[in-house]
Amino acid sequence: MRRLLTLRREGRLTTAQVRSAADVLGVRERAVWRWLAAAERDESAAVEPGARAQSKDRFSVTPEVRRLLALWKGNVAAVHRELAACAVRGEGESPPLIATLHRAIRRDLTPGERAGLAGGERAARRHDVFLARRRGWRNQVWESDHVQAPVLVDVEGGARRPWITWFTDCATNAITGVAITPGHPSRESVLAALRSAVLREDPYGPFGGLPEKVRVDRGKDFLSRTVTAAFALLDVRVEDLPAYTPHLKGTVEGLNRAVESMFLAALPGYARQPRPGRRSSRPKGEVLLGFEDFTARLLDWTLWWNTEHRPAPLRGRTPLEVWQDDPTPLRDVPAADLWTFTLEDAGTRTLTTRGIRFKRRDYAAAWMTGQTGIQVRIRFMPHHDHRIEVYHAATGRYLGSADLADQATDEQISAVRRARAARSRRLKKDLQASQRERYAAVNQPAAPQRLGALTTVQADAELAQATGTDLSQLSLPDLIPPAAPPAGWRTPASLAALTTPGRPAPDPPGHAPDPVPGTHGSSASPAAHPTDDGDTL
């Protein structure tokens, strides 16, 4: 438009040029002539041709409107009602029409801002632009994460959702290591997945070796002392990403989404979390997979992903083909050394005739015969209490493993677990029954009214039962009253009635008896003695 305006001022503008500009802009010829006329009156109109002139009285979004949008989750009608109510109270100006408010919000706020005010930061992030990292070489960067499988699995007779911990290579999209846990994962899950990721021998290969860097997202298991020490010994740098930034580890996040849609959704027991207030639509009587069967199927899918699946970023190749075509040398670690590096250090102990004392329990092994008295260093796998690994404290030489002495049988452990579960269920039921309160429904403003009639006898019985279980009430501090004070003390009658009648207690050692008032030689002033008006020593 600025060029057309210059030609018009020079008298060299033709109708053909205007018609050509209209074709390029996709508007009518009359619109271009109108824009030129507006630009002659105000040159700023040439910057945005066709834009409506902003008048001083035009309504725009204010900080108050933004605050109300965040308060009402993007509900413009509710914001308009709030502005109108403030105007009635004299706390602000009269609001514009609701249509004007809609136009101002669409004009002054970006789609990301509108989504963020309505749904929070995660909703606003959907409108952001993210740059893709350059695809490097194998074992340059790994990413790791926990994900809870939305599948119910039979674990010892109960339905649970197992957790998956895995490492993935960012250059090849290969799953280098995986570990499945029936319950909540821990640092032991990370160490198990790390061992399977680093080792390249069967059944873990050919992917593996030591990476240069591993990205994690502030998970306490990945940043625990044991895991960080293992990474440090293996010369692997850990990149701790900021919280709530899943886009910074998109490779493993994409794997988390892919495993659900490509594999888990077809399994029996698939129980995707429903919306709040809705129950899961899982059919009744559905036979769940056992944990062992689920693990076998997941490992088979992992093998298919690495050897047959062709992700779009790899342009028609499988992760195995990309891995084998990469000439980057690999750093391997012997299996025995890797096992040592991924154990938690528990310090030194003395080998005695009862074995090794660790966590108030004894561990013994056949190789300990004839070696009592030496100093050993203990390393163990977290949460694996049945076995420890023993090394010589001075030389670091591996001595062997030691098992827990007098370990309970599987039947005993199962019985203890059943008893604990029954006790927990009974306690939970009792607590819920005692804390459940019912109130009367109202249709007029009124104070809450509890329901449930209770007689005086029932109330006294329940209070007596509660008192009987209170240890502070069982102490009975007034059962044996204190002894009477010495004879020379002046004790008020109200306190003397609470003491044990009989012979008074003797004077304490080093305490001279008070002289009798009025006798010769008394040097004490009347103020130094207690009086009978209630004052005591």
Return the ∠ at Cα 134 (arms to 130 and 139), rounded to 5°.
120
The pLDDT of residue 520 is above 50: no
Q: Flag whether 334 is in a domain.
A: no
CATH of residue 156:
3.30.420.10
Residues 78 and 182 in one domain: no
The percent of residues in the chain predicted with pLDDT above 70, rounded, is 79
Residue 227 and residue 240 in contact, taking contact as beta carbons nearer than 8 Å: no
Residues 40 and 80 in one domain: no
Q: Flag whether 20 is in a domain.
A: yes
Residues 365 and 308 in one domain: no
Which among 318, 293, 324 is positioned nearest to 304, based on CA atoms? Answer: 318
For residue 381, the enclosing domain spans 343-404
Residues 85 and 197 in one domain: no
End position of a domain, from candidates 387, 404, 421: 404
Cα distance between residue 323 and residue 315, in whole Å: 14
pTM score above 0.85: no
Task: Write the pLDDT tens digit of every residue in 132-163.
Answer: 778 889 999 999 999 999 999 988 888 889 99
Which among 412, 394, 390, 420 is positioned nearest to 402, based on CA atoms? Answer: 390
CATH of residue 350:
2.30.30
Residues 170 and 299 in one domain: yes
Least confident range of 75-84, 314-323, 449-458: 449-458
pLDDT at 537: 36
Q: Flag whether 254 is in a domain.
A: yes
What integer is the mean pLDDT of 379-403? 82
Residues 75 and 152 in one domain: no
Residues 301 and 173 in one domain: yes
Residues 235 and 149 in one domain: yes
Most confident of 113-117, 392-396, 411-415: 113-117
Strand positions, DSSP E, 209-259:
213-216, 237-240
Question: What does the radius of gyration of the chain's CA atoms come to, in whole angstroms?
Answer: 40
Q: Flag whether 118 is in a domain.
A: yes
Q: Flag whether 257 is in a domain.
A: yes
Residues 362 and 260 in one domain: no
Q: Flag whether 458 is in a domain.
A: no
Q: Flag whether 433 is in a domain.
A: no
pLDDT level of residue 326 (50, 70, 90 thresholds): very high
The pLDDT of residue 438 is above 70: no
Question: In residues, how long is the chain?
Answer: 537
pLDDT at 450: 63
End position of a domain, from candidates 404, 428, 457: 404
Provide CB contacts within 8 A for 208, sequence distance 6+. Answer: 176, 177, 197, 198, 199, 200, 330, 332
What integer is the mean pLDDT of 363-374? 85
Residues 146 and 209 in one domain: yes
Q: Flag whether 470 is in a domain.
A: no
Number of domains in the chain: 4
In this structure, the strands spanning 361-364 and 398-404 are: antiparallel
End position of a domain, from candidates 404, 428, 451: 404
User: Rounded mean pLDDT of the chain?
Assistant: 80
Residues 15 and 121 in one domain: no
Residues 264 and 391 in one domain: no
Strand positions, DSSP E, 360-508:
361-364, 375-380, 387-392, 398-404
pLDDT level of residue 167 (50, 70, 90 thresholds): very high
